[in-house]
């Protein structure tokens, strides 16, 4: 449960940040009116929300109580 929620937050953040960045930066022309506006309005906001979610996933990881199946794997991946 905890691990799943954490991964969900992290991945959502990553995807949003990635999407937001590339929706904000028009690819292709280097001149003309297009290069001055994001391809989708509020795309920079999506990027920022994505970045914030990525870091917030750490809070999810620590705060969400252990569900069934989490306790077994919690010792793994220790640095």
Partner 1 sequence: MPRYGMVIDLSRCYGCRACMVACKVENNTPGAHFWMYVFRIEEGEYPNTQVSFLPRPCMHCDNAPGVKVCPVGARYKREDGLVATDWDRCIGCRYCEVACPYGVNYFNWKKPEKNQYLDWDTPAAQVLGRVTNGAVPPYDNPDLDQPMKDKRRTAGGGQRKGVIEKCTFCVQRVEKGLQPACVANCPAFALHFGDLDDSNSQVSKLLAENPSFRLEEEYNTRPRVYYIGAPPPSAHPRQIEAVKARE
Partner 2 sequence: MATKSETRLPYDLGRGGAGFFLLVLGLLVLVALGVVAYARQWAEGDVVTGLRDLGTMGGAPWGLYVAFVVHFVGVSFVGYTVAALIGLFNLDHLRPIARMALALTVVSLALGALSVLADLGQPLRGIVNLFLYARPQSPLFGTFSTVLVGYMVASLVFLYLDGRRDAALLARAPSRLRGFYRLWAAGYRDTPEEQDRHRRTTFWLILAVIPILVVAISTEGFVFGLQSGAAGWGGALQAPGFVVMAGVSGMGHLIVVAFTARKLLGLQDRITLRQFSWLGNVLLVLVAAYLYFIVVEVLTGIYQAHHHEARVTRALLVGDYAWLFWLTVGMLVVSFLLLLIQFLRRRYSLWPIVLSGALVSLAGIGKRYLIVVPSQTHGRLLPYLTGFYSPTWVEYSVVVGLLALGALALVLFFRVFPIMEVATREQRR
Contact residues for partner 1, defined by CB under 8 A: 30-33, 35-38
Q: To the nearest whole angstrom, how small is the minimum distance from the Cβ of residue 33 to partner 1?
A: 5
What letters, b where the CB count within 10 A reaches 16 and e where it falls short, cover 55-74?
eebeebeeebeeeeeeeeee
Number of other CB atoms surrounding residue 16 within 10 Å: 20
Q: To the nearest whole angstrom, how small is the minimum distance from the Cβ of residue 29 to partner 2?
A: 12
Q: To the nearest whole angstrom, how small is the minimum distance from the Cβ of residue 57 to partner 2?
A: 9
- Residue 13 or 38 with smaller CB distance to partner 1: 38
């Amino acid at each position: 449960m905890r691990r799943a929620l954490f991964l969900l937050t992290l991945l959502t953040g990553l995807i949003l940040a990635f999407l937001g960045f590339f929706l904000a930066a028009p690819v292709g022309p280097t001149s003309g009116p297009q290069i001055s506006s994001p391809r989708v309005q509020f795309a920079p906001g999506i990027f920022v929300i994505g970045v914030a979610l990525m870091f917030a996933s750490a809070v999810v990881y620590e705060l969400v109580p252990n569900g069934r199946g989490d306790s077994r794997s919690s010792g793994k991946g220790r640095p």
